[in-house]
Each structure stands twice: as C-alpha cells, then as structure tokens.
Chain A
Amino acid sequence: MSRISLQHIYKKYRKDQMVIKDFSLEIFENEFIVLVGPSGCGKTTILRMIAGLEEVTSGDFYINEARQNDKDPSGRNLSFVFQNYALFSNMTVYQNIEFGLLNKKMTRLEKRLAVEKIAKKLSLYEKLGFYPSHLSGGQRQRIALARALVDSNQLVLLDEPLSNLDAVLRAEMRTELIRFQKQYNVTSIYVTHDQTEAMTMASRIVLLIDGRIIQVGRPEQMYNNPNHLDVATFIGTPEINVFPAIYDGVKMISENNIFAISNEVRELLKDRVSANIYYAIRPQDVKVSEVKTPGMLLGKVEIIENFGYNKLLHIKAGGMMIKALVPSDFVIRDKLFVDLTGKGFVFEVGKKRISESKIKTLVLKGRRHFSAEENQVIRELKNYGYEIVMADCDTPENSYVIRCNNDKTYEIEGLKLKVHSLKELLNHLSDIR
C-alpha cells in the first residue's frame, strides 16, 4: 500500500535550465497514474527522481508520509521497469528475476519459490533456463516486469515499457499490464508519450508540457473536458481540429470562412465578440453531408484515410483543413458540406479553455477538525482542482457549500444532497462535473 505525495518539485540540470517546474501531485493507493506528454517534457525525469536515480533540486517527496528526498534508491522499496528492459545478458531468465530479490533476507528456497510463482503468472516458467538473448521482445518485457514484481514492492515505476515492441504486441501487453496491476494491487506510475496507452490504462492521467502539469484527471475527463488547448490536441485520436478564429456575434470567422457554431459555444463567447480565439472540434463531432443547410462550409475531400470501421476525411474548405470521421459506408463525393456545430471547445489565445464557470470552490462549514481519512479525501479533492475553503465567511461565486455535521454526514447546500462519507461526496461531485 503506497501513497505518494510530491510537493512543489523543481528540477534543474544546469543553471537556468529548469526541467521540472512546480510539480505537485498526490497519488493514492493502487492508482495507475500515467504521466504523458510530448518527448522532452520531463516525464522520465520525474520518474527517475521518484526512484532516486536523479536528485530533486527543491521540493518534498513523501512515500507514506516518510520523506524520501535523501534516501538511497534501494531504501525506497520500489521497482523500476526500463524502456530497454535492462536485463543482464550474462544471466538466465531465472537469475534475472532473482536479481530483484538481491539483498532480501530470504533463503534460497524461498527465493526459488517466489521466482517460480511470478514466472508462472507471467507465463515465463518454461523459459527460466534461457538467456534473454534467446527470447522475443515481449518475453523480455515480461522478464523485466517479473523482476519488478517479484519482491512485492508496493510501488512500480514504468518508463515507456512498451515503446520497443511492435504494434500488435504492444496492444497485447497493454491489457496484460492492466491485469497485473489489478492482480497485484500495486500503485503504479507509468510514463509514456503515447496518448492511446494513457487513455486505455490510466486511472488518472497527468499531462505534462515543458515540465509543467497542464491537467490532471481521469481519462474521460481529459477527453471531454480539456482545460487547455494542448490537452485537447494531445488527447484523442484522430487529432482534434483547431482553427484560429474570430467570433462576430453570430457566426465564427476563420481563414475567410464563415460558419455556424452550437448555441452552447455562442453562449460562452457572448462577451468575446471579435476577440481572437481558437475553435476546436473533434473529427468525431464534425458532420458531413451532401445537402447544404445554412452555416455549413463547402469543402473538397483531399485525402481519405481508411481505418476499416470508419474513414477519416481531410477536407479542404477555403484555407481550412478539416478532418472528419465518417462511417465506412459513407459515400464520398468530391464536394461536401461540412457542419461544425457539433461539440466544440473554445480556447483563449493563451490556450486556456473558455468554459462556463464550473464549480471550483468548496466551502466546508460546520466542523473545523477532520480525521486523517477525511483529510486525505480533502487532499484528493484539491488534486482534482477544487479550491477548498474552510471558513464561515461569505460564499464565493461558483462554489458549493458543504456542511459537515458532527455525526459524520455531509450536506451539500443547494443540491439537497446528504451523504455519509466524503468519499461518496467526491463521487457525486465528479458526476456533477
């Protein structure tokens, strides 16, 4: 059972070369955290700092409330799976896995049993006498995984473990990794630059760009509710359409094209008439038809990418290149009308999302003292981006007031909701969002 807390972590390699800037994150038991971001954004550095292979320049890092900054890597009780597996070519598979138990106070027999148990789980039992060079990439990956899991450490760090595998094997190992994580109940931190891996495996995604956390959230949250243009472009395949645009009060203007947008977006933009913005819409939400209705754009299909179950059209409309996902039985004409009134996102020029003001602040009223368990949930709430105010002062705008009763029930004012634990409350809140 490992809980990890990273507080205001900075990392400097050389003077003025700040690689990680103010990285704060709480990781809870049995979570599968995926650190994702373009290459060079500092994901691996964070992982290496957690493992102790890299020093933390400033900030605090705790595992189960024990400060780890100055501990030796071996004192942190965690395992690391490397991108290139880091297997010892001079040792057999058995010896490689047993290396994970080096310096553990176990008898030879106990070690043997532990190794064989994990080898059976990872279907490596028949290969124990082989050398790594005789095995395939997937098998080597499993050896590295076995070595990480064999000493039953409660924290496993994985540094792009699948990037050396081919596409088929990667998909296979992905599901297997999720299965093992569930089976062994280990807290895992997984680094990847592949958003598909992040979306499919994570219980929570942390998106990093340039050493800064852009957004933390569950995969569906990242997809449906990106708070930043970079999140929107990074998460989701095919990549989202982004158009620099100006809103004229009724319609959107981009590259001399005028098109209609949904009422929700218009509502968001009502005080931003004729300001520069970005309009983004996922290819899934772009509608294509042969019949023109007002507000549609006339476009010409330039490229068709066929995925089998559907097709991705690259449509040129004036100066805009629009990607649209259509069913595979869609009949493609040369000239088509594109409808962009689907679910769109708008972003400021500074790339921040323009969204209707969401509940961001929670005001806790009533009790002032909380148990450790409650405090943990409060920290978790903060992690999800809530501002927590513990006061009886005026209620700020866009906030929920939560009344904490002495009998450990909680009421959300305005929602007429009464729950019996903060954890439950957390679930309700995430539903509301």
Chain B
Amino acid sequence: MRNVLNSVIIAGGAAFCAVVFNGLLAYVVSILRPKGNKAVFYLILASMLIPATVALVPLYKNITGIYETIAAVTGLSLRKIQSTFLTLIPFWFIAGASPFYFLLFKSHFDSLPKELFEVASLEGASKLQTFFRVVVPLSVPTMMVVGIFSITATWNDFLLPYIVINNQNYWTVMVKLFKVNAEMAVYGITLDQFLSLLLFTMIPPVILFFIFQKRITSNVATTGIK
C-alpha cells in the first residue's frame, strides 16, 4: 500500500509538472515567438534523438543535483532527505520533461486561431493573463492527454526509480514488484499471489484512462471553433 502511495505521489506531481512546464514552454515557442524560438524548438526536437538509456548517467547526476538543492533549501542532510518523501520530488521534473508532450502542446497551440491572441493583446491582457484566460481554457483536452500520458509513463517507469531510490519505504510499485518477483521466498509469496499483485498494479492506470477518455472526447467536441 505504501508503494502505491509513492507511485501516486510521483505520477500526480509528474502530470502536474508535465502540463504546466510543457504548456508554458510551448506557449512561448508557439505563440509569443521571441527571438531564438526556432533554435529552442529544434533543440527540443533534437533531444528526442537521444536514447533514454544513454541519458541515464547525466540524468542521475541531475537528480543528485536536485537533491543537493533540496538539501540546501531545507537544511537537511542528504541521508535525511532520502528517508522522507522528498526523495520522490526529482521524478516530478524528470517525467515532465519530455519533448513529446511539448510537441503535443505546440501543435495544439499552433492550431488555435491567432486572432484570439490579437484580441487579447488589443484589450491589454498581459502575457500570463492571455495564457490563463485564453489558452488554458481552450487547451483542456491536450492537457488531459499530456496528463494521462505522463501518469502512465511514470507509473510504469522502473529503471530510474530502481536506481535512484535507496530507501525501501519509498519504492514505487514497479520497483517493489521487481523485488518481490526476485525474492519471492523472502516475502513468502506464492506465484498465484504474485500474479494477483500484478493485476492490481495494472488496474489504476486503466481506470484513469477510462475516466478521462470520456472527458477527452467531450472536450474535443466543444472546442470546435466557428
């Protein structure tokens, strides 16, 4: 149960970060278009070429970097951090930073009629006001899609949590599953029990998907402009 909670914390935070950060980035690149937006865009595209396994070591370094910042901010020692839920925080940012989500947002923003933003600028709306009053309400379906994708991705992610999380208490569901599978005798679990465990780990994302799928389709219908 503890592990499910960990996974939920990671997935929820990751979904939030994925939507907010990718959304804002895509807003800047696609709508505000400051100088150099093309360079940023191609940089992000190019990052899709890098295989995840190659990125593992730098990613690990980054994560330790985040831990160090957290340590600096909270004044806790690294060991102390790893014994609280703070140990899960880096995953929010890792899962959120995906060029794929950014592309989803960008293509959606590109399809919004530019007159809407011009109206906003004529009425004197600031850039953030435009984002929250105009862009966000029109982007609910895309936000849903990105949210669901990032939730399933983090839920299913095994390698990174396995490498990073030392403290047993903060293992995610997938890590736990792996351990249980490897050390079935230690946990005193039979194969049929293990299989039912597997099934349970599959259920949450499936439920989520069914709930939000309805929401997605209904939103697509109402967003039609003109």
Contacts from A to B (Cβ < 8 Å): 51-53, 72-75, 78-80, 82, 84-86, 88-91, 99-100, 102-103, 133, 147
Contact B118 A100, beta carbon cutoff 8 Å: no
Known pairs A74-B124, A103-B124; A133 contacts B224 (CB<8 A):
yes
Is residue B125 contacting chain A, with contact meaning CB distance below 8 A? yes
The answer to whether A103 and B123 touch across the interface, beta carbons within 8 angstroms, is yes
Partner of A100, one of B115, B116, B123, B137: B123
Interface residues of B in 100-151 (CB under 8 A from A): 113, 115-116, 118-125, 129, 134, 137-138
Which B residues touch A79, using CB under 8 A? 122
Interface of A, helix, strand, loop or mixed by DSSP: loop
Q: Is the CB of B118 within 8 A of A88?
A: no
Please give me the residue from chain A that is nearest to B116 by CB atom. Answer: A86
Complex contacts, A52 vs chain B, CB 8 Å: 122
Let me know if A88 and B116 touch, CB within 8 A: yes
B122/A80 in contact, CB under 8 A = yes
- Which 4 A-B residue pairs are closest in the complex by CB-CB distance? A74-B124, A86-B115, A90-B137, A103-B124
Q: Does B223 contact A (CB under 8 A)?
A: yes
Please name the residue on chain A nearest to B122 by beta carbon. Answer: A73
CA distance A91 to B222 in the complex (A): 11
B73 proximal to A (CB < 8 A): no
Question: Which residue in A51, A88, A133 is a CB contact (below 8 Å) of B122?
Answer: A51
Q: A53-B118, A80-B118, A84-B113 are in contact. Are A89 and B222 (CB under 8 A)?
A: yes
Contact, CB under 8 Å: A82 / B223? no
Q: Determine the residue in chain B with the shortest Cβ distance to A48.
A: B118
Check if B225 is an interface residue, CB within 8 A of chain A. yes
Give 1 or 0 for each of B5-42: 1 = CB within 8 Å of chain A CB. 00000000000000000000000000000000000000
Instruction: Give the chain A neighbours of B120 by CB distance below 8 A.
Output: 102
Known contacts A74-B124, A82-B119; 12 further A-B pairs (Cβ under 8 A): A53-B118, A53-B121, A73-B121, A73-B122, A74-B121, A85-B226, A88-B116, A88-B138, A89-B222, A102-B120, A102-B123, A147-B119
Q: List 17 A-B contacts (CB under 8 A).
A: A51-B118, A51-B122, A52-B122, A53-B122, A73-B118, A74-B124, A74-B125, A84-B115, A84-B226, A85-B226, A89-B138, A90-B137, A90-B223, A91-B137, A99-B123, A133-B224, A147-B119
* Interchain CB contact (< 8 A) of A78 among B122, B134, B137: B122
Residues of chain B touching chain A, judged by Cβ–Cβ distance below 8 Å, are 113, 115-116, 118-125, 129, 134, 137-138, 222-226
Shortest distance between the CB of B193 and any CB in chain A (Å) = 49
A261 CA to B122 CA in the complex, in Å? 55
Residues of chain A within 8 A of B134, CB atoms compared: 88
When chains A and B are docked, how far (Å) is the Cα of A99 from the Cα of B124? Answer: 10
Asked if B225 and A89 sit within 8 Å, CB to CB, the answer is yes
CA A52 – CA B115 in complex, angstroms? 13
Residues of chain A contacted by B113 (CB below 8 angstroms): 84, 86
Q: How far is the CA of A88 from the CA of B113 in the complex (A)?
A: 10
For residue A140, which residue of chain B has the nearest CB?
A: B226
Tell me which residues across on chain B come within 8 A of A75, comparing CB atoms. 124
Which residue of A has the minimal Cβ distance to B115?
Answer: A86
Report whether B224 and A102 are in contact in the complex, using a CB–CB cutoff of 8 Å. no
* Among B113, B129, B222, B225: residue with most chain A CB under 10 A: B225
- Chain B neighbourhood of A73, CB < 8 A: 118, 121-122
- Distance A33 CA – B224 CA, assembled complex (angstroms): 34
Task: Give, as a whole number of angstroms, the nearest-CB distance from B32 to chain A.
Answer: 14
**Which among B118, B137, B223 is the interface contact of A86 at CB below 8 angstroms?**
B118
Tell me the complex Cα distance, A51–B115, Å.
Answer: 12
Docked-complex contact B119 and A86, CB < 8 angstroms: yes
**Min C-beta distance of B170 to chain A, whole Å:** 40
